A = this chain, B = another copy of it.
Amino acid sequence: MPLTQIFSTLRGKRPAPALGRTVGKVRFVGAGPGDPDLLTVKALTALQEADVVIHDGLVPVSIVKLATSAMKFIPVGKKGFGQHTPQDVINARIVENARQGHTVVRLKGGDPTVFARLDEEIEALEAASIDYDIVPGITAASASLAAIGQSLTKRGRNASARILTGHDMKGFADHDWRTLAGSGEVAAIYMGKRAARFIQGRLLMHGAAPDTPVTLVENASRTDQSVLGTTLVNLPDAVEQADLTGPALMLWGLAPRDAASLPLLKQELA
């Protein structure tokens, strides 16, 4: 048995299709956090070359319409907690369009490798012997950190950070709450808005300081971006009163760098 292996950089290559049959390919493309200028050059090119675009509901129209040669646009997935397309239906749409010989761009908000259910879709392509590649995108955490002028890690504060989802918090191990509750811990919590009270309860129960800063960045990088700076003790009430309607990333353990000097944007919540 070999000790280890160095693999080719070429991935997802499948056996050639049967003679006379042309099979397309699928590109998983990260749409980034919302600002079209935060697309990578590679993502923009992939969009411009796409025949078919299958896009998440949260990807803004200003990005979807950059696919100027596409003949078909298929919105799938869900918008917040609303209507959603079942995963097996999404998989089937991707496969059927690639089998028709198209170059399919599967456009996902943020980065396809972060909370984007990439695995299920790749497995469907592997089962159907369809080629694919992955074009990374700027994830919401990067854009949110940039918005508040903070680093994910900082010497003397934290040498590591967590990325997690608030969408299915019930399954998150108690052990991790204890770690997160410690001083200087930092986490980027995706889809944490609705779990704010649950998150607060768990962190307080495990000894987190009530005045630990928590920042929510709504619509990161978009023209309607807003930043909500609060603390653990006030978190659920602050989130409720702010009535954030767009996607929001929660940054545990970080305050906006300019909190003291910034003017209030909309309101001072009493």
Contacts and interface: CB of A to CB of B under 8 A. Distances in A.
Nearest to A217: B9
Nearest to A116: B151
Contacts of A262: 5, 7-8, 11
A8 to B, nearest CB: 5
A162 to B, nearest CB: 5
A242 B3 CA distance: 11
A263 to B, nearest CB: 5
A55 B195 CA distance: 41
Interface stretch (A18-26, A73-81, A135-143): A135-143
A34 B221 CA distance: 23
Contact of A11 (B38, B112, B122, B258): B258
Closest 5 CB pairs of A and B: A160-B164, A4-B238, A134-B146, A4-B230, A113-B145
Interface of A: 2-9, 11-12, 30, 32, 35-42, 44-45, 111-119, 122, 133-139, 142-143, 145-155, 159-165, 168, 171-172, 175-176, 179, 182, 187, 221, 225-231, 234, 237-238, 241-242, 256-259, 262-270
